Structure 1
Amino acid sequence: MTGKSRLAGEVVDVHLSPTHTFSKESRDLINLLEGRGVEGDAHCGVTVKHRSRVKADASQPNLRQVHLIHSELFDLLYEAGFAVKRGDLGENITTRGIDLLGLPVGSRLTIGDAVISVTGLRNPCQQINDFRTGLLKQVVRTDSDGNLVRLAGIMGTVSRGGVVRPGDRIRVELPPLPHHSLTRV
């Protein structure tokens, strides 16, 4: 379904943190700022805000303005014995009913007036194990072909600003063919 918009899911919860904490607090709404990210969040900006990336090259464009995780991941983690709640993994938007990890690069997610352009996968790091010992092995796995599979959500940039609230519907517009699978950003 290239170029056509389809209803794909909904927003379950929204989160932000004004400081570089691992987890983010649940909010009634978040405001997405075009080209910058989530207003009031520590990762909001045109250039990279993640500390390790700032240290490497602070002039890099911020391809990680918005972090989205599918709520179904929390169900899987619970089944594996991990009590992890929405916002604990640092996402800005928790979704339901949408295959975030299966989206191609450049997909556009319309939520209310806001539009997020998907840039890639979140690359889980040791901080996840610091949060809960053993959790990293649950969100980074190896498939039967030996490929690394990252399950900790996707990242995107804000193409059009707007307010996002729990209960908002999400529409997906796929980019033109050929589609490119998500890789870590």
Structure 2
Amino acid sequence: MPEHLTLEQLHSGLPHIQQSPRDEGVLKAIVIRPKTDERSQLAYCELSLEGGVHGDNWALGCWKSLPDGSPHPDVQIAITNSRAIDLIAGDSGRWALAGDNLYVDFDLSEENLPAGQQLAIGEVVLEVTEIPHNGCRKFSDRFGGDALKFVNSSVGKELHLRGIYARVVKSGIVRVGDEIRKLTAT
């Protein structure tokens, strides 16, 4: 079991996270959750309006659903900052434990990516949604109580250190190494 960082150690890593690219970054990892507590890392993956991240259990039913029972599209894709999870996890081999789908070297802060902002990754276009992505008991169990306090703090929420949710606007394929960039409103 790896040693978890203290709140002080986590805060000392903020400057590196805050240097994440604001307009163009890189997709560093893709993870699907075929079943609860299962993780698979992929080199590429299809994302669609109907299926979210193909192979992920979102489409089979998730924690947030529509009145008809179908999975809520505003939580289709979970995106996290690779610098933040690298600090919190301590090793890239533990990133997938966070349970996010796309791990990006990109500024996910509220200031940089407000709800409604569209992003292009590979062939895909995503739109940031309003639903907050907060740390939970499982996150605390995997990365420590101080990591949970860190991501759920006022600074953590402003920078979206736990990540963001997005919905698919244009389906296609994403690959590790693809550029992620903000799209301007038309």
Q: TM-score range by the shorter chain?
A: 0.7 to 0.9
Which of 57, 74, 84 is equivalent to 1:42? 57
Deviates more, 1:53-62 or 1:126-135: 53-62
Q: Report what 2:35 is aligned to.
A: 19
Is this contact kept in 1: 2:78–2:100, CA < 8 A?
A: yes
Residues 84-137 of structure 1: CA distance to partner in whole angstroms, max 9, x if unpaired?
7322211111001x2112311111111121111110331222121222331311
Partner Cα distance (1:165, 1:148) in 2: 28
Normalising by structure 2, what TM-score?
Answer: 0.73
Alignment of 1:35-74 (within 5 A): 35-44=50-59, 49-51=61-63, 53-54=64-65, 58=69, 61-74=72-85
1:138 shift after superposition: 2.4
User: What SS does the aligned partner of 1:32 have?
Assistant: strand
1:54 shift after superposition: 4.7
Q: Report what 1:140 is aligned to.
A: 152
Specify which structure has the higher proportion of strand.
Answer: 1
Structure 2: stretches of 5+ with no match in the other structure: 1-21
Is this contact kept in 2: 1:116–1:157, CA < 8 A?
A: yes
Specify which structure has the higher proportion of helix.
Answer: 2
1:139 shift after superposition: 1.5
Partner Cα distance (2:107, 2:157) in 1: 18
Structure 1 residues 105 and 55: CA distance shift in structure 2, 3 A: closer
Residues 5-53 of structure 1: CA distance to partner in whole angstroms, max 9, x if unpaired?
x9511101111011122x63211111101243111110136xxx323x3
1:142 shift after superposition: 3.3
What fraction of aligned residue pairs are identical, expressed as a percent? Answer: 28
Partner Cα distance (1:172, 1:58) in 2: 32
Structure 1 residues 57 and 142: CA distance shift in structure 2, 3 A: farther
Count of aligned pairs between the two proteins: 159
Partner Cα distance (2:157, 2:114) in 1: 17
Structure 1 residues 132 and 70: CA distance shift in structure 2, 3 A: closer
